[in-house]
Structure 1
Amino acid sequence: MRPSIPRIAPILMGLTAAAFGFVTPTATAQPAPPAPDPLGVSQSATAPTNTVVGTSSAKASGTTPATSRSLTVNVPSCNESDLQAAIGAVATVGGTVNLRRGCTYTLTDAAPPNDDNGLPVITNRVTINGYGDTITRAATAANFRFFEIDGPNGNLTLNALTLSNGHASSGLGNGRGGAIWLQGGGSALTLNNTSLTTNTADTFGGAIDNDNGTVSVNSSTLYNNTARAGGAVFVSPFGGSGTATVDRSGITGNHATQLAGGIAAAVGTKVTLTSTQVSSNDVTGTNAQGGGIAQAGTMTLKRSPVIGNTTSGNNAQGGGIYNTVGTVQLTDSPVTNNTANGTNSRGGGIYNTVGTVTLTRSPVTRNRALGTGADGGGIFRASGTVTLIASPVVGNQPNNCGSPSTVPGCF
């Protein structure tokens, strides 16, 4: 990990504020205390130990909200330097950046002095309006994510934009958030009609890592991102209560090597998925957990099917959903065609230990636990509580809920 880096106003890359027809007001910096170390998906003494534990070494410094009128910057070209300059102009004081329609901005270098971010750190309220634009990291560039959003005032909204090929490296930074990293209470991210694709994090959150911030994803797509844990999204309380709401979106085709191919949520977090499909995500490796979802907080799925996710490797658990310690409520959210594949695999559809899972009008069908000693093709309850309300568990292999059944009302 890199050492702590004090945050200062980003440098305008070759362009002055005068070039955009305004003068940037001065923002007053006020240091924030370091955020506590984040915990992994289980911190209960009665829950199985989980090795997903991370530490962030970066310290954030917030800025007071801008007191003058909000700035609006129109990016004049598709050039990297113009984009960095425009975002740098508003990153600490707040404002709106309008991208040039249809551009692909290819970033070749991180924005100094932030060596693991391709764009200036966001410490105030910023909106970036895309018009089918793409921001991507050049294949030959050093590894960096695109955005870091720091509390207490960092608040970023992205509209109609694609972020691709970001890479948060543990060699240059903390390896968190392949495209976007939120750190600290008060940090916030909103995605509207936006796609995060083919991003990589060496540790947590292939597309987004949210440490004690607030994430809202609307009509957006998180596709083909990769991390050790949380292939698309990792949500951590980081000493607070990280939250995420995902509405009318897709979390699909993401990958992890240990935990949660789609979305991971740690103890103390709250996640709500509404009309959002979690599909075709995977975790590959020994003790792989949660092909679609792995969580230990409070999670609600409404009209959000969990389809075609996979865990592969010895002791694979929870092809669709892995829940430990936490609470999961599924309403009108079928769990189907998920697979746990490997010796002693458990819970092709759902694996529950210590925590509570309640399914209402959410059938569990055509899921599979495969391999020598596999059990619980539909649901495997190691401990805790699973409640079925008008939710049939049928047509799973090699059985529906273990042999003998581990779930009341499931045969």
Structure 2
Amino acid sequence: MGLTLVAFGVITPPATAQAAASDTDVLGVSQSATGPLNPALGMPSAEASRTDRATTQGPIVNVPSCSESDLQAAIGAVAAVGGTVNLKPGCTYTLTDAAPPNDDNGLPVITSTVTINGNGDTITRAASAANFRFFQVNGSNGNLTLNSLTLSNGHASSSLGNGRGGAIWLSGSGPELMLNNTILTTNTADTFGGAVDNDNGTLTVNGSVLRNNTAAAGGALFVSPFGGSGTASVSTSTIIGNHARTLAGGIAAAVGTTVTLSSSVVSGNDVTGSNALGGGIAQAGTITLQTSTVTGNTATGTNAQGGGIYNLTGTVRLTDSPVTGNTTNGTNSRGGGIVNTASGNTTLTRSPVTKNQALGTGADAGGIFRASGTVTLNVSPVVLNQPNNCGNPSTVPGCS
């Protein structure tokens, strides 16, 4: 695929959203200047400062119908000044084209504090339409909340833009996104973040589902700091059945990011390709899982590593969070459950690693593979993994 993990680093983005032709590292993925999956990834410069979030009042706009034009007009009325949009209950809003002049966005760019109440509605991109994501949340005043809404079939294309965020892209310095009881499904990003790409912003996910999204890296979520800090908090939510072509079927997090999952499930995600890393999660920042589950994720291909979790240089903390039934499959595959390498530090507390598999010729460490760094087990049994628990010989202290 031309994408090789070097270090989970970030780059200083160019001033425009269009792809350039230079080689850079983003989340440790070496970007080749050739091939459809290898653009140099950037973002637009932040918009001029708008209104202070704390004082934004803004209009309340009720969308009168299920039409694309009414939806675009309603969101356009609040995108730059702030306000609330109430969708008409029971609607499926089918978008046929991006709203000019937003290029690869199907809806106006959000640069102020906006709440959209979905009332169980769906916004989808028509199958025959040009490729576009739905929302771009831009700059320090960009703040979007989605309530009870489904976004489906968005496609952030590298041929039309930078391919980031199949449904939503957080760009510029310090944007915010909150998803409440929201479903992001069957969205595609040619580069990063099949559902959401969060670059230097704050993402909060509550009671939501990110399902069957696809990207080169970060099938569901991609979090990066771009010189600042990128954060994501996921609570009582499900990351399920997402796909990546090189890195992190579920969640990808770069150096300098902080990701927290509580009472959530990362399940059935997959990454496929030579040197596939992290079927469920691949990360180099700090990620904390509390009362969450990493289960049934897969990394497939020669030298596949970390069916459940791949930790490069960062810190992984699992508390009451089992890692079970994950798989690596391919020649010399490693760590069906977890891989810890470079200067990574993984600590498990009351978090069993069970029934994971490393399959294929020369496969090793069905449970945990420690190439380097540290792995600490606190009341966390590593058992019933195949072909062995922690390598032959074991690479993890306290595991046989």
Q: TM-score, normalised by structure 2?
A: 0.91
Specify which of 270, 291, 301 is matched with residue 282 of structure 1: 270
Write the deviation string for residues 277-298 of structure 1: whole angstroms up to 9, x where unpaired: 0000000110000000000000
Name the amino acid aligned to 2:388. N
Whole-Å Cα distance in 2 between the matches of residues 134 and 304 of structure 1? 28
Whole-Å Cα distance in 2 between the matches of residues 194 and 57 of structure 1? 25
Whole-Å Cα distance in 2 between the matches of residues 251 and 258 of structure 1? 18
Specify which of 375, 380, 383 is matched with residue 386 of structure 1: 375
Cα contact 1:40–1:267 (8 A) shared by 2: no
Is 1:361 matched with 2:334?
Answer: no
Write the deviation string for residues 231-252 of structure 1: whole angstroms up to 9, x where unpaired: 0000000111100000000000
Name the amino acid aligned to 1:257. R
Name the amino acid aligned to 1:41. L
Structure showing greater radius of gyration is 1
* Secondary structure in 1 matching 2:69: helix
Structure 2: where are the runs of 5+ without partners? 1-12, 32-37
Specify which of 74, 79, 83 is matched with residue 67 of structure 2: 79
* Secondary structure in 2 matching 1:81: helix
Name the amino acid aligned to 1:302. Q
Whole-Å Cα distance in 2 between the matches of residues 238 and 157 of structure 1? 23
Is 1:56 matched with 2:7?
Answer: no
Moved over 2 A (4+): 1-6, 37-42, 50-55, 57-60, 66-69
Q: Report 1:5-404 matches (<5 A).
A: 39-42=25-28, 50-51=29-30, 54-65=40-51, 69-354=57-342, 355-404=344-393
Cα contact 2:45–2:172 (8 A) shared by 1: no
Name the amino acid aligned to 2:366. G
Q: Deviation at 1:2?
A: 11
Name the amino acid aligned to 1:4. T
Q: Deviation at 1:114?
A: 1.0
Cα contact 2:14–2:42 (8 A) shared by 1: no
Cα contact 1:63–1:124 (8 A) shared by 2: no
Write the deviation string for residues 347-378 of structure 1: whole angstroms up to 9, x where unpaired: 00000102000000000000000000000100
CA change 1:148–1:362 in 2 (3 A) is same
Whole-Å Cα distance in 2 between the matches of residues 2 and 137 of structure 1? 28
Cα contact 1:62–1:154 (8 A) shared by 2: no
Whole-Å Cα distance in 1 between the matches of residues 78 and 153 of structure 2? 24
What is the aligned partner in structure 1 of residue 396 from structure 2?
A: 407
Cα contact 1:2–1:172 (8 A) shared by 2: no
Cα contact 1:220–1:250 (8 A) shared by 2: yes
Q: Deviation at 1:75?
A: 0.2
CA change 1:131–1:384 in 2 (3 A) is same
CA change 1:299–1:79 in 2 (3 A) is same
C-alpha RMSD of the superposition? 1.8
CA change 1:268–1:68 in 2 (3 A) is closer
Q: TM-score, normalised by structure 1?
A: 0.88
Write the deviation string for residues 76-95 of structure 1: whole angstroms up to 9, x where unpaired: 00000000000000000000
CA change 1:388–1:222 in 2 (3 A) is same
Q: Deviation at 1:64?
A: 1.9
Q: Deviation at 1:39?
A: 4.8
Cα contact 1:314–1:343 (8 A) shared by 2: yes
Q: Deviation at 1:185?
A: 2.2
Cα contact 1:162–1:197 (8 A) shared by 2: yes
Q: Deviation at 1:40?
A: 2.3
Whole-Å Cα distance in 2 between the matches of residues 209 and 69 of structure 1? 28
Count of residue pairs brought into register by the alignment: 374
Q: Deviation at 1:152?
A: 1.3
Q: Deviation at 1:186?
A: 2.0
Cα contact 1:306–1:335 (8 A) shared by 2: yes
